[in-house]
Structure 1
Amino acid sequence: MTDQPTPSTRSSLPWTAWLWMERSTVAVPLALLLFDVAGTIGAYSGGNWHGDNNVGIRPLDWFAWVLVAAGPIALHHRWRAPRTTLFVSLSSTLVYLLMGYAYGPIYLNALFAVVLIGGAGYRREVWTGSVLFAIGMLWVPTHSQKGQTRTSAIDVLSTIGWLLALLILAELFRVLRQRALESARAREQEVRAREQEARRQASEERLEIARELHDVLAHSISLIAVQANVALEVMDRRPEQARIALSAIKDASRSALGEVRSVLTVLRGDRAAPRDPAPDLGRLGHLVEMAEAAGLRVALSVVGDLEAAPLAVSQAGYRIVQESLTNVVRHAGAARAWILVESAAGLRLRITDDGRGAPLGVGVGADGTGHGTGNGLPGMRERAAALGGSLTARPVPGAGFRVDAFIPYPEETS
């Protein structure tokens, strides 16, 4: 798809054109040289440009061609030696005119040198060179009367007028160049800002996908591992119990595959809605069943209307409960767990167990708050913080561990 130019892009096009002319070290000098050559040949083949009768015009010779070509050649090197370029362009033009050659487009050599060098910031050199050039122009002979110079009052005023116009043009180009550079810098900053924003969004998306995969796989694989151990232990003595464990493994595998498929669908960038959308609080019952199949007795209490919770909050709440139960099953050595879910001004969660108090991989800080060294607790905190909420995890005095989370609903944070 072709990007359409924005208003800011269209407004910057003149500045881009100025910058191109200023930076061109081949195209502009070459075009000027061709125009000088063609114009000089025309001046000699068609007579004086001012309509005189070629009185006092010096014949075209090799030295005239050297002077005509000196200006464009010097402009080609203006970035390496700007002062030399200005001197060569002005002096070659003035010498050409003082020697009495036919008037031609060689004036453009001085014009381009003053404008381009002055626009690059060499104001003092341009002003000094232009004034000296204007003074020298007073001694340029006229072709209408042989030997007569331009020292009359009208000629002096005309020269001063052309000098001021040339300097004003150089100042104008300097301002245009400055605006062009500022516009180019602004566009570069805008491009860098967009790239940084794109990288930030991509990083956040990768983090979210990693968090989803961690929650899905850690929970499901933990349940599968527990049920597999149960099946191995009772396979010979109680085949029916082994069958229940294998059935739980089947259900956990199917659920995990469905959720992983949904995450991969988003990762591939498919625009169609995933076949298995991310689970929310409405599937807490299924989560409890899977935990109980792993041998954990779970008591679920719901206060308020869970359907009032926004989808993002509901999905985050489900993942927090899921990760909490995963930690209980894997690390706590608990027999029971209690889940309290309250939906009012926001979503409030409390998951408590009667295990050993500090699950493996969870340290206790000076404030009594648990700090996970793995990905589980940090991931839960990030989920809550991303929606403007908070989460704490700490051992319960005596025995057990408790996770408390609160996520406000959007209307409460606006």
Structure 2
Amino acid sequence: MKRLLPLFVLALTLSMIIAPFALAADAAKPTPAVPDRSPGAPIAGAISTVTGMAISPLLGTGAYGAYQYFNATTPEQKAALPWFAQWAFFGPALLIVGACAAKDALGASVPPGLKKPFDVLETIENKATGLVAAGAVVPFTMTAVSKLLVGSKTAGVEGAVLESSGMAMLQVGAIDFSSLLNLLTVPFGIAMFAVVWMASHAINVLILLSPWGAIDAALKGMRTGLLGLLALSATINPWLGAALSLLVIIVAWLVAGWAFRLTFFGSVFCWDFLTLRRTRFTPKENGNKLFAGGNFPGVPPRTYGRLAQRPAGGIEFQYRPWLVMAERRALVPVDKSQLAVGKGLFFSSITANDRDTLFLLPPRYHGHEDTVARTYLMGGGVRDAGLRKAWGVMRELFGGSAAKTQVV
């Protein structure tokens, strides 16, 4: 049964990727729908476009590019398709998506150490494709919205292009730039994209932190299912897609702080891991940079800051919310004698009473745990950090305080 589990998870993940787009194609075939010529329809489509690309930039562009390519019946139609609807892009893009799905599915049966480097590469890929998608989609889409708001004669053409392509990108030839209004709409579109992408990218970081392959596949499947539902909704009715997109945007806004901290943590993790920074890093005598853990009272998990020894005694955590706001300080509520460094497989942590994770050390500290323990006079020294129950770990990853020790 255990041998069949990876294949089952892989099949389930691929079906969640393919099924929504197949349903969307079937829904569009029976009877040609009457185009919605209302002024707000292209705006609704633009919201769905930005949201869908932000959820999964590579999968979103690749899947819709393939959908448009295979629905084009003549060579002229295929030649007029945008760049992401050409084999040169969506072929390799979907192959990469499939490789990531296989990695998550097969990861349920392999040790975390074999899968973690590929998780790092996927996290970097998500960052890079997010930048590409934002630069290619958001300006075009929001420029079309600008034309509609100023009453351009080309608004009807743009609406038809946006409606026919669902969540796909507007073609450059259909856009008549309205530079003045773009100064407002384009930044708004980029902000909308950034909020949703950051919340979606947090899933990649959770996969990076989690040592269980089955949980990784479940997280990836939920995100893919949401993208498929959004694509299907936008294909059936642009207003339905826009309503679902607005719900996604609101939820992403509510978790923006949590997602930002996870995104920054993932960036530091990937940089330290890929550049082998630990080989050229030496801990400071005071003020070392690290992240707050899930059990530090009054400080959000994965807040970035410095751990400093106070002249009057004790240790305090100095940090800036969102990295740029006014500095805050929080006294470590545990005596030094009760602190210890838990040495993990990829990165370590500072724990209190062998249970509560107070701080997470970036990978650059791997191999320097003894120095950190001596610097802050930790009574517990350095100890190996073992795996804990999955429920407790996931509670801490999502911001709870139930988890007790760092797992990797």
Normalising by structure 2, we get a TM-score of 0.28
Q: Who wins on radius of gyration, i.e. which is larger?
A: 1
Please report the TM-score for the alignment, with normalisation by the length of structure 1.
0.27
User: 1 or 2 for the larger relative contact order (CA 8 Å, sep ≥6)?
Assistant: 2
